[in-house]
Amino acid sequence: MKTTRLVSILSVIVFLSAFTVAEAQNKIYTTKSGEAWFDAGTGAEDITGKNKSVLSAFNPATGALQFSVLIKGFEFWSELLQEHFNENYMESSKFPKSTFKGNITNIDKLNVNKDGSYPVNVKGTLEIHGVKKEVATSGIMKVKGENINATAEFVVVLDDYNIKIPGVVKDKLSKTAKIKINCNYSIQK
């Protein structure tokens, strides 16, 4: 537990220091309690996981957006499913986290100084299981006062990230995973 906590703290430090000095002079929105869900199940099996400790930072001046997720932070309805997820599929001791680093490509459409709901387009590099791939998706950012709620959904092909599905469970596990993100940001103090 102490090792996981140390890794989390170090990840936050490295993660937030990735922003440049110029970006640090602007308002930076952060969260340490974002949520990520994934669903890789089929009609034959419920294979969904939820992580409530997603780290994320967002710079509205540049559109820079980053996420970091500890793989062992995903929780499942079954301890056995969680064990298989970490040991057999995600190999979380070898690949402890997943990251995204990218930009909101239509940042000019977002006004963090005016309450409202803003559609955003996001593009960047997603790393899962040690493999980096370019991804793009759309989402919604809802501004209310000094807080922003961001949601997005996208699909990844497991084989693209070298996540192998054993033949014995191929009918229970989808070849794709739907990923949903929900982050409540506040201004970094």
What does the alpha-carbon distance between residue 14 and residue 73 come to, in Å, rounded to a whole number? 18
Domain CATH code at residue 123? 2.40.128.110
Residue 51's pLDDT is what? 97
Mean pLDDT of 11-19: 50
Residue 19's pLDDT is what? 45
Question: DSSP readout, 100-140?
Answer: EEEEETTGGG--TTS-EEEEEEEEEEEEETTEEEEEEEEEE
Residue 88 reports pLDDT greater than 60:
yes
Question: What is the number of domains present in the chain?
Answer: 1
DSSP, collapsed to helix, strand or coil, labels residue 77 as: coil
Phi-psi region of 186 (alpha: psi -120 to 50; beta: other; left: phi over 0): beta
pLDDT higher at 18 or 123: 123
Q: How far is CA 78 from CA 75, 81, 146, 154, in A?
A: 8, 5, 38, 24
Residue 164's pLDDT is what? 84
Average pLDDT, the chain: 87
Which range of residues forms the domain containing residue 155? Answer: 2-187
Best CA proximity match to 74, nearest among 49, 41, 48 = 49
What does the alpha-carbon distance between residue 182 and residue 33 come to, in Å, rounded to a whole number? 9
Decide: 178 and 39 in contact? Cβ < 8 Å: yes
Residue 5 reports pLDDT greater than 70:
no
pLDDT in tens, 39-76: 998 877 788 999 999 999 999 999 999 999 999 999 99
Residue 168 reports pLDDT greater than 80:
no
Residue 24 reports pLDDT greater than 60:
no
pLDDT higher at 85 or 1: 85
Best CA proximity match to 186, nearest among 3, 22, 11, 31 = 31
